[in-house]
Amino acid sequence: MASKVIHALYTDDDLLLQAVRQVREARYRIGEIYTPFPVHGLDKAMGLAPTRLAITSFLYGIVGLAVAISMMNFIMIEDWPMDIGGKPSFSFLQNMPAFVPIMFELTVFFAAHLMVFTFFMRSKLWPFKKAENPDVRTTDDHFLMEVELGNHDANELTRFLFDTGASEIKIFNR
């Protein structure tokens, strides 16, 4: 059996934020919200857990730093030691001040590039993926809240959503 969802369209982000709070207080389940731009505080109003992407970014930076240190130690100290500018070629620690820019750049490079891949995989965005936008107006100036109907009365929920400030409401089978 297909579940039914209600799409409530709003014209203002502050109105949407207030409606999300009211819908959550009334114990209805919000499936998804589509907005043309990020709305500050929407994740908190929806009750979403904090993201762990910052932790993965830090770990990717540590990997980049480790690659930089091992690469420079192998290339400049072990494999092909060179006396450049009077710097000793037998110690990584004595040469480290000269290696700091490379370590910084590879740390940022790994963190940035691996975060892009992580974000795309986590968001399930890959090349040639069909857009899942239910209403094209949400890319311009409208905000859409998808509320799952469940065992609730459709007329009662529709009336409630109109009272929260929705300008248009449609019922869909998912």
pLDDT digits (tens, 9 = 90+) for 132-143: 888 888 888 999
Which helix (H) or strand (E) is 65 found in, with range?
A: helix 53-72
Residue 142 within a domain: no
Residue 76 within a domain: yes
Let me know: does 160 contact 20? Beta carbons within 8 Å.
no
pLDDT in tens, 91-121: 788 878 888 999 999 999 999 999 999 989 9
Amino acid, res. 84: I
Residue 63 within a domain: yes
Q: Are strands 143-148 and 4-10 parallel, antiparallel or unpaired?
A: antiparallel
Helix (H, G, I), strand (E, B) or coil at 147: strand
Q: 58 and 44 in one domain?
A: no
Q: 21 and 66 in one domain?
A: no
Let me know: does 26 contact 168? Beta carbons within 8 Å.
no
Residue 134 within a domain: no
Q: 115 and 90 in one domain?
A: yes
Q: 44 and 20 in one domain?
A: yes
Q: 91 and 69 in one domain?
A: yes
Measured CA to CA, the distance from residue 169 to residue 149 in angstroms comes to: 13
Q: 62 and 117 in one domain?
A: yes
Count how many domains the chain has. Answer: 2
The closest alpha carbon to 154, from 1, 4, 2, belongs to 4
Which tokens sit at 167? 């300008």
- Asked whether the predicted pLDDT for residue 1 surpasses 50, the reply is no
Least confident stretch, 12-21, 43-52, 87-96: 87-96
Q: 104 and 61 in one domain?
A: yes
Helix (H, G, I), strand (E, B) or coil at 2: coil
The domain boundary, picked from 98, 122, 146, lies at: 122
The domain boundary, picked from 78, 93, 122, lies at: 122
pLDDT of residue 150: 84
Residue 163 within a domain: no
Number of H helices, E strands in the chain: 5, 4
User: Which domain range does residue 78 map to?
Assistant: 53-122
Least confident stretch, 53-57, 65-69, 125-129, 167-171: 125-129
Residue 22 within a domain: yes
pTM beyond 0.85: no
Q: 61 and 115 in one domain?
A: yes
Let me know: does 6 contact 139? Beta carbons within 8 Å.
no
Q: 103 and 90 in one domain?
A: yes
